[in-house]
Amino acid sequence: MDNYLTYLYLLTPLHTGGSANEGNLMGIAREVHTEFPYMPASSLRGRIRAAMEQKHENDDLKETVQTFFGQRIEAGGQPTEGEVWFADATLLFFPIASLSHHLIWITCPLWLDRWSRWLGNDQKQIQSLIKDCQGKLREKAAITTFKAKPLYLQTALLKVDDIDSSIDLKFLETRIAVIVADSNIFGQIEKKLVIINNEDCVSLVETGLQREVRVALNKDEKTVKEGSFRSEEAIPPETILFFPWAVKSTRPFSPRPGMKPEDIEKSKSEYETKSKKHSSLKESLNTLLKNRLQFGGLEGLGRGWSNLKTDNIKTN
């Protein structure tokens, strides 16, 4: 199985659609056990599938797309399992306003641990770093990749004694540099990163979500239409999320017992044709996930535009 890790760099706010709306609030999807925002795998898969169907609408890979992602439910039939799977997209680096540093990014041991699970050969080094950070965060409020005297997280003040910069974060900075290469704004993350505990991270993310109030106006009047007030949540731009995905390996050709030579030759030819199309589609998908794509809802308002970067996960 070929395993990949794709990073989403939000260029515009992302509205993922909530599991429930309360009152006039159009919320976003949140994890049940942490309350962190995320993008469900079903949303990712559906958007990527639609993009691939559009991309190959008029070529010989059109039918292969259907088997690659699995047949849809049609005419009362059952869906089929595809050859590719996607996991949820979760937070990795979240932007926070700072009175002392304008814009910084936060992360926490939970996010780093989730990330490390998919890093293959780099997992042990990140896990060791997480352990060091967890120990230090029992004594300090934050760990930084820069000297901060003092540091404001939004309007909360952290004094010098609350901050640690003694932990060696060189490996983390190097790994981040690879992720954000060729990006001006995101390229600042490695030098403007703050690691805080999971509980503080929940609070800062909650207050850092973008919220907009919308109303509808009565026709021919500049008055608010009754019952039209609503508030919309979104994950802010400059956020980085990630999601793992993989493509199943093609099984080697094996003729069925008792097949005639001419049938074996025919089956082998069909297998080779299918394998070539499978490889072409996998390459096409990899290319798609290294470009720009729009996710989530409120597309008409320009929500969800993201630059994508995809890495192959290498394991020994």
Q: What is the DSSP string of 141-198?
A: SEEESS--SSEEEBTEEE-GGGEE--S--HHHHHHHHHHTTT-TTGGGGGGSEEE--H
Residue 153 located in a structural domain: yes
Taking the CA atoms of residue 202, residue 310, residue 66 and residue 268 in that order, the dihedral angle to the nearest 10 degrees is -140
Rounded CA-CA distance 179/81 in Å is: 31
Residue 120: HSE in the Cβ half-sphere, 13 Å Cα cutoff = 13
Whether residue 186 has pLDDT greater than 80 = no
Residue 1 located in a structural domain: no
- DSSP per residue over 256-314, as a string? PTT--HHHHHHHHHHHHHHHHHHHHHHHHHHHHTTSEEE-SS-GGGTTTEEEEEEEEPP
pTM (2 decimals)? 0.88
Cα 230 to chain centroid, rounded: 27
Residue 30 located in a structural domain: no
Residue 184 located in a structural domain: yes
Residue 70 located in a structural domain: no
Sign of dihedral through CA atoms 70, 73, 75, 77?
Answer: positive
The boundaries of the domain holding residue 142 are: 88-107+120-195
Residue 282 located in a structural domain: no
The pLDDT tens digits of the residues spanning 301-313 come to: 889 999 999 998 8
Q: What is the mean pLDDT of residues 147-173?
A: 88
pLDDT attached to residue 220: 67
The pLDDT tens digits of the residues spanning 27-48 come to: 889 999 999 999 999 999 999 9
Q: Give the total number of structural domains in the chain.
A: 1
pLDDT attached to residue 48: 95
Residue 141 located in a structural domain: yes
Six-digit token string for 300: 């008409």
Q: Which range, 4-13, 60-69, 225-234, has the best average confidence (pLDDT)? A: 4-13
Residue 37 located in a structural domain: no
What letter would DSSP give residue 87?
A: P
Q: What is the mean pLDDT of residues 112-131?
A: 91
Six-digit token string for 94: 């979240």
The pLDDT tens digits of the residues spanning 47-97 come to: 999 999 999 988 889 888 888 898 776 666 666 778 899 999 999 999 999
| 96 sits in which H/E element | strand 90-98
pLDDT attached to residue 229: 59
What's the one-letter identity of residue 207? T
